[in-house]
Amino acid sequence: MKIVTLLAVGLLGLSTAGSAVGQTPLSLFNGTSLQGWNTQGTWTTNGGTLSGTGTGDRHALTAVPFADINLQFEYNIVTPVGAKLRLWTTSENNGGLTIDLDNTNNAAGVGGVEDLDRSSISIIPSGWHRVQIEATHGKLRVRIDDVITASPGNLGSRAGYIGFEAKGNGQFQVRNIKVTPLNLSSLFNGNDLNGWKSVSRAADAKEGMGHALQKTFSFGMAGGTTKSHDAAWKVDSGRIHGESGPGGLENGTMMEDAIVQISASVTGNNKPGTGFSSILLRNTPGQLSGGYSIGLGPFAGTIDPLVKRPPTTTTKAVDQTVIISGRTIAVWVGGNLTSVFTDTRAESANAAQGAKLSAGSMTVVLPNALDRLDLQKVSAVTLPKTFGMAAKSAPPPPPPTPPAVTQAAAAPPSAAETMILAQQQASAKKEADDEKNKSKVAGLMNQALSTNDPQQQMSYYSQVVQIDPSNAAAVQGYKEAQTKLQTTQTQQQQQQVQEQHQQQDAQNAEQQSSASLLQAQSSFLNGNFAQASTALSVAERLSPSNPMVRDLRSRISAAQSLRSRLFWLGGGVGIVALAGMVAMWIRRRRQHRYAVLEVTRGLESGKSYPLDRDLIRIGAVPQHGSQKNDIVIQDVEHAISRFHCEIARKNGQLYLTDLRSSNGTLINGEPVQPGNPALLRRGSKVTLANSVELRLTTKRRAKSEM
């Protein structure tokens, strides 16, 4: 029993530890732009390199802060330019820690931490050098080319921005900048929903995802609900599973500024207009709105409604890292920075209306009954409000040791004897040091020759040159290893750029496939099978293994086959059809249909207006001046214009024209361009100013009305 308990405790410790094993690093620099950076002075991008050029003070800082991290990058300096790494600084580049990077003449040595820990390396050759920083639990360790240069401790808990700065005339180049956040706490124990609670979709919801869903099942007639609704949440195979929305799942941890990592998959629905599964940050507790909405699954990278990204068709789990600090939100998808947004709106208690700056809950939202969500990982760490804490000063020197009381000594030696003795001691010490250095140099040279790793060779040769600057073999070996390393890094960089291009091409293909699939679905639902088949052929070419594509192709083929059979069948029963037409003609003499507009949402819901004239005007007032409206519709918000639109009959068809209304007109969710007639069909849904909905339908005219 004790063994089982200890094993459980050990596994729990591993789940909350700061180890970065298996975690995808976050790319801070995409190689082509300054996205995610705030700069002062001249900073440019070229060939995958971030360069600070020119003269005077200049710095580049990340757009969002970090806490405990693993940081790695490569840098190159030809001549000293006062190059430094800034860690845990403020957004104005004040305070924090400073690590010297110049290849010579540094206050703290190459890779040393100013005022805390001086490096033993005073000079390194020009060229590219690899830097690794591990900052965790109040300790810092700096490595340059795999050699530890500084390791101060007792730093306390810190957070802030990461950046680079230069001052002198010259160029400071940086590339391959990656960071891994450490010491995030898991908010899901993998066994139950401890710490989480279900949030209902409120009763009488007049808008939002739940309202849209209810309207769908009530054919557009419902305006709300008298019952609240909870989604179904459970733990399945170590994952939080949600279905049967709408509803939410709220974590009780209140957070304002934080780093959040989440891995989630969403299946079942990704159509625009039906809402999408998301996680709300700084949300209003107990509600499904109020916070910043970060998309999950196919909508990863979206910050609704501030940053829109086209959805993908993926059904696999998508890893995201979200950093929210003050007014800025940054989102990484799969380690790549996809969205950075600074909310400059006035402060508000609701993110949909302004900048939400106060703390709130974290809520997972399931918007409809079609989505099925699996949450595999959710962890977070809160960020402090104060950044750039000053480095701790060095401890005071120990008090002087009092001189020891000694017994009376013999007579001192003469001056000549003292000088000879000192020379002998110095000579013996020099010989011992030389012998020790020769042995150390021989060992380092053997290690350099026995490895094929150019970085290790550079490290060994660099140590030899520090001991014996005149060692030509070590200098030449260092240059050769440096050339080999630069060649390898160039090849790796070219391969990385190629992989990025391939990834971008794949992403573009996936987006194009999704757009073609949506177009094919829309054409199929509208009965245009030929157009649906043409659009679907593009999706088949880009995503031949997509099950949704194959399913739609089978549906289109079946519909086309049915239409063909009906066509030939109609030819065989022409006489019967003719008789039926005669009968229908006789019946239509007694009664026939006429078009009406039926109010499906608004103050006059259920009321119908006949379209019995060739031109009918619709607006909010009966008459203004010499102009009159045939249909007067009012709304609570007074958003409908006085003369909003008109419907004209032409060649047996009805056309709607928007009369340059203030808040616009929609037909089936699509905006109508002012002045351009748009065709109306039976069942068309007309939305006036997003306030009142009308549906075009027909009614039978009784014989007494003819």
460 in any annotated domain: no
Pairing relationship of beta strands 239-243 and 372-382 according to DSSP bridges: antiparallel
Q: Which of 97-111, 162-176, 276-290, 536-550 has the least mean pLDDT?
A: 536-550
CATH number at residue 36: 2.60.120.560
Joined together, the tokens standing for residue 606 give 């259920």
In this prediction, residues 596-600 reach a mean pLDDT of 94
- Work out the average pLDDT over 120-134: 92
Q: Is the pLDDT of residue 114 over 90?
A: yes
Residue 110 lies in a domain: yes
pLDDT score for 12: 39
pLDDT in tens, 184-199: 999 999 999 999 999 9
Kindly give the pairing relationship between strand 26-27 and strand 172-181.
antiparallel
Encoding tokens for residue 35? 């996205």
Helix (H, G, I), strand (E, B) or coil at 530: helix
Instruction: Return the pLDDT at 493.
Output: 86
Asked whether residue 335 is assigned to any structural domain, the reply reads yes
> Between these two residues, 437 and 62, which has the higher pLDDT value?
62
At 570, is the secondary structure helix, strand, or coil? helix
Question: Are residues 444 and 464 in contact, defined by beta-carbon separation less than 8 angstroms?
Answer: yes
Tens of pLDDT, residues 261-291? 999 999 986 565 567 899 999 999 999 999 9
So what's the pLDDT on residue 413? 60
DSSP letter string over 201-239?
BPTT--SSHHHHHHHHHTTT-----SS-B--EEEEETTE
245 and 150 within one domain: no
Nearest alpha-carbon partner for 643 in 666, 665, 617, 676: 617
Q: 339-346, long-range: CB within 8 Å, 24+ apart, which pairs?
A: 339/301, 339/302, 339/303, 339/307, 339/309, 340/35, 340/36, 340/63, 340/64, 341/303, 341/306, 341/307, 342/63, 343/306
Residue 95 lies in a domain: yes
Are 37 and 63 a contacting pair, CB within 8 Å? yes
Residues 176 and 235 occupy one common structural domain: no
Kindly tell me if the per-residue pLDDT of 373 is higher than 70. yes
Residues 123 and 265 in one domain: no
Q: Does 371 lie in the same domain as 245?
A: yes
Rounded to an integer, the average pLDDT of 507-527 is 86
- Identify the weakest region by mean pLDDT among 56-70, 153-167, 240-254, 431-445: 431-445
Q: Specify the pLDDT at position 56.
A: 86
Over 50: is that where the pLDDT of 403 sits? no
Average pLDDT estimate for 76-80: 84
Per the DSSP assignment, residues forming a β-bridge with 281 are 292
Residues facing 666 on adjacent strands = 671, 687
Judging by DSSP bridges, how do beta strands 615-619 and 631-632 pair with one another? parallel
Q: How confident is the model at residue 242 (pLDDT cuts 50, 70, 90)?
A: very high
Cβ distance 127 to 76 under 8 Å? Answer: yes
Q: Domain of residue 647: give its range.
A: 593-700
Residue with tokens 């899901």: 188
CB atoms within 10 A of CB 436: 11
Residues 6+ apart with CB under 8 A from 587: none
E strand or H helix that includes residue 571: helix 547-572
Question: What does the pLDDT look like over 672-699, one tens digit per residue?
Answer: 999 999 999 999 999 999 999 999 998 8
CA distances in angstroms from 27 to 24, 34, 426, listed in the order given: 9, 12, 54
Looking at residue 699, its pLDDT comes to 85
Q: Is residue 204 within 8 Å of residue 332, measured between CB atoms?
A: no
pLDDT > 80? residue 477: yes
> How many C-alpha atoms does 309 have within 13 Å on its Cβ side?
23
Mean pLDDT of 391-395: 41
Asked if the model's pLDDT at residue 402 lies above 60, the reply is no
For 393, the 3-state DSSP assignment is coil
Residues 145, 252 within the same domain: no
In the prediction, which pLDDT does 225 show?
A: 55
In this structure, are 243 and 134 located in the same domain?
A: no
The answer to pTM > 0.85 is: no
Report the distance separating Cα 449 and Cα 429, nearest Å: 30
Same domain, 174 and 69: yes
- Percent of the chain at pLDDT > 90 equals 51
Last residue of a domain, one of 336, 353, 382: 382
Residue 5 lies in a domain: no
Paired with 377 in beta bridges are 263
Q: How would residue 336 be classed by pLDDT, with cut points 50, 70 and 90?
A: very high
CA neighbor of 632 nearest in space, from 622, 640, 624: 622
CB atoms within 10 A of CB 91: 19
* Predicted local distance difference test score (pLDDT) of residue 320: 96
Q: Quick one: pLDDT at residue 587?
A: 63
Domain check: are 377 and 236 in the same one? yes
Out of 97-111, 405-419, 541-555, pick the least confident.
405-419
Asked whether the predicted pLDDT for residue 409 surpasses 50, the reply is: no
Amino acid letter, residue 479: K
Question: CA 143, CA 85: separation in Å to the nearest integer?
Answer: 13
Task: Calculate the average pLDDT of the chain.
Answer: 85
Residue 681 sits in a domain whose CATH number is 2.60.200.20
Q: Which residues of 212-239 are buried (b: 16+ CB within 10 A; e: fewer)?
A: bbbbeeeeeebbebeeebbbebebeeeb
* 372 shares a domain with 276: yes
Which of 324, 351, 382 finishes a domain?
Answer: 382
Q: Is the dihedral of CA 491, 497, 501, 507 positive or negative?
A: positive
What pLDDT was estimated at residue 270? 57
Longest alpha-carbon distance in the chain:
147
pLDDT digits 0-9 by tens, 196-210 = 999 998 875 554 444
* Residue, of 181 and 516, whose pLDDT is higher: 181
- Does residue 396 lie within any of the structural domains? no
pLDDT band at 370 (very low <50, low <70, confident <90, very high): confident
Whole-number Å distance between alpha carbons of 190 and 236: 9
CA count, 13 A, side-chain hemisphere, 49: 17
Asked whether residue 271 is domain-assigned, the answer is yes
Same domain for 257 and 151 = no
Could you report the per-residue pLDDT of 638-664, keeping only the tens digit for each?
899 999 999 999 998 999 999 999 999
Least confident segment among 299-313, 562-576, 600-614, 690-704? 562-576
DSSP state of 473: H
- Pairing of the two strands 49-52 and 147-150: unpaired
What does the pLDDT read at residue 691?
92
- Contact yes or no for 389/156 (Cβ under 8 A): yes
pLDDT for residue 147: 92
What phi and psi, each to the nearest 5 degrees, are found at residue 242? -130, 140
Number of domains in the chain: 3
| Distance separating alpha carbons of residues 87 and 649, to the nearest angstrom | 70
pLDDT of residue 415: 60
Distance separating alpha carbons of residues 275 and 210, to the nearest angstrom: 9
Contact between 660 and 645 under an 8 Å Cβ cutoff? The reply is: no
- Residues 403, 398: Cα–Cα separation, whole Å: 15
**Can you give the pLDDT at residue 195?**
93
Shortest CA distance to 229 belongs to which of 205, 194, 207? 205
Query: Do residue 35 and residue 175 come from a single domain?
Result: yes
Q: Check whether residue 358 and residue 241 sit in a common domain.
A: yes
Dihedral sign computed on CA atoms, order 245, 196, 226, 663: negative
Distances, alpha carbon 343 to alpha carbons 91, 288, 292, 326, 328, in Å: 16, 21, 11, 9, 6
Predicted pLDDT at 572: 67
- Is residue 406 scored above 80 in pLDDT? no
The answer to whether residues 132 and 143 touch, using CB atoms and an 8 Å cutoff, is yes
Of 382, 410, 425, which residue is a domain's last?
A: 382
Determine the average pLDDT of the residues in 514-538: 88
Predicted pLDDT of residue 85:
97
448 part of a folded domain = no
Contact between 183 and 381 under an 8 Å Cβ cutoff? The reply is yes
